[in-house]
Amino acid sequence: MERRAKQIAELLKVLANEYRLLILCELNKGPKTVSGLGEKMPNITQSALSQHLALLKAQGILDFSKSGQSVTYSIADHRVEEVMSVLKKHYCDKEN
Amino acid sequence: MERRAKQIAELLKVLANEYRLLILCELNKGPKTVSGLGEKMPNITQSALSQHLALLKAQGILDFSKSGQSVTYSIADHRVEEVMSVLKKHYCDKEN
DNA sequence: TAAGTATATTAGTAATTACTTAAATACTGA
DNA sequence: TCAGTATTTAAGTAATTACTAATATACTTA
């Protein structure tokens, strides 16, 4: 960990945002278009959502494909899924 | 996860720093005094280290005890240990 | 081709972070 | 009590983040 601390901190910075966590939660269930994601997150503007997606994509965490006018995002780096799963387990289950 | 996203993002923000990750790594091996931690992290000033410790303590992640002139820190919230362990597994092991 | 829809990008700004430097507090041993 | 050591706290600042508003791009359909 020692030598990787800086790199891992970078990853965690990307995860450390309410909306980016929600995006990953949704995409964990399966790929979704930008507007599909937007429907699940009514509190964020289209522009802000797009900026969060761009960041996750730039970090290699998400992949995307275009089809017609819509863009579908999916999780590319499956390691984050397991990180999410531990977070869920400890901070979301039942009486936490 | 959805309703907890904000809270989890707060936690991840605290973890998302190179030096705080190193502190947690060291304390994972066992409690250490501030100066003991400082020896393991020669690139940070004593003041900065103390501020990182204060943040981790404020979040309930660390506990501490005073004895004489020195302060010994230890991990209080064992959930973060498992988070660290997943990070280690995926981002530190072998050919990652 | 024009108008509408989906998404991305840009520029500007307020809030937050991480640091440095300096000083404060608390303990110890001569 | 004084000097030294360990640690914390406070103030100031530069860098980073997350947003809004506006505009741009790309596609579709009438």
| Residue B35 contacts strand C, CB under 7 A | no
A93 touches chain B (CB under 8 A): no
- Where in the sequence is the domain holding B22, given as residue range(s)? 2-91
Average pLDDT over chain B reads 92
Q: Is residue A17 part of a domain?
A: yes
Q: Is residue A26 part of a domain?
A: yes
CATH of the domain at B37: 1.10.10.10
pLDDT band at B1 (very low <50, low <70, confident <90, very high): low
Question: What is the Cα–Cα distance from B37 to A60, expressed in whole angstroms?
Answer: 33
Q: Establish, for the pair of chains A and B, how many residue pairs have beta carbons separated by less than 8 Å.
A: 89
Question: What is the Cα–Cα distance from A57 to A37, expressed in whole angstroms?
Answer: 15
B 35-74 near A (Cβ less than 8 A): none
A95 touches chain B (CB under 8 A): no
| Residue A55 contacts strand C, CB under 7 A | no
* Per-residue pLDDT tens over the stretch A2-29: 568 999 999 999 999 999 999 999 999 9
Q: Is residue B55 part of a domain?
A: yes
Question: What is the Cα–Cα distance from A82 to B60, expressed in whole angstroms?
Answer: 24
* Per-residue pLDDT tens over the stretch A67-76: 999 999 999 9
Q: Are B21 and A5 an interchain contact pair (Cβ–Cβ within 8 Å)? A: yes
Average pLDDT over residues B59-87: 95
* pLDDT for position A1: 57
pLDDT band at B38 (very low <50, low <70, confident <90, very high): very high
Q: Is residue B96 part of a domain?
A: no
Q: Is residue A96 part of a domain?
A: no
Using only C-alpha atoms, what is the Rg of chain B?
A: 14
Question: Which chain C positions have some atom within 7 A of a protein CB?
Answer: 4-10, 17-23, 26-28
What domain count does chain B have?
Answer: 1
* Per-residue pLDDT tens over the stretch A41-84: 999 999 999 999 999 999 999 999 999 999 999 999 999 999 99
Q: Is residue B32 part of a domain?
A: yes
* pLDDT for position B91: 81
* pLDDT for position A2: 56
pLDDT band at A96 (very low <50, low <70, confident <90, very high): very low
Which residues from B are below 8 Å from A39, CB to CB? none
Q: Over 80: is that where the pLDDT of A95 sits? A: no
Q: Is residue B39 part of a domain?
A: yes
Average pLDDT over residues B41-69: 96
B13 touches chain A (CB under 8 A): yes
Q: Over 90: is that where the pLDDT of A94 sits? A: no
For residue A83, give the chain B residue with the closest CA. Answer: B86
**CA-CA-CA-CA dihedral for A12, A26, B83, A90, to nearest 10:** 140
Which residues from A are below 8 Å from B59, CB to CB? none
DSSP secondary structure, chain B, as one string? -GGGHHHHHHHHHHH-SHHHHHHHHHHHTS-EEHHHHHHH-TTS-HHHHHHHHHHHHHTTSEEEEEETTEEEEEE--THHHHHHHHHHHHHTSTT-
Which residues from A are below 8 Å from B20, CB to CB? 9
Average pLDDT over residues B30-40: 96
Q: Over 60: is that where the pLDDT of B94 sits? A: no
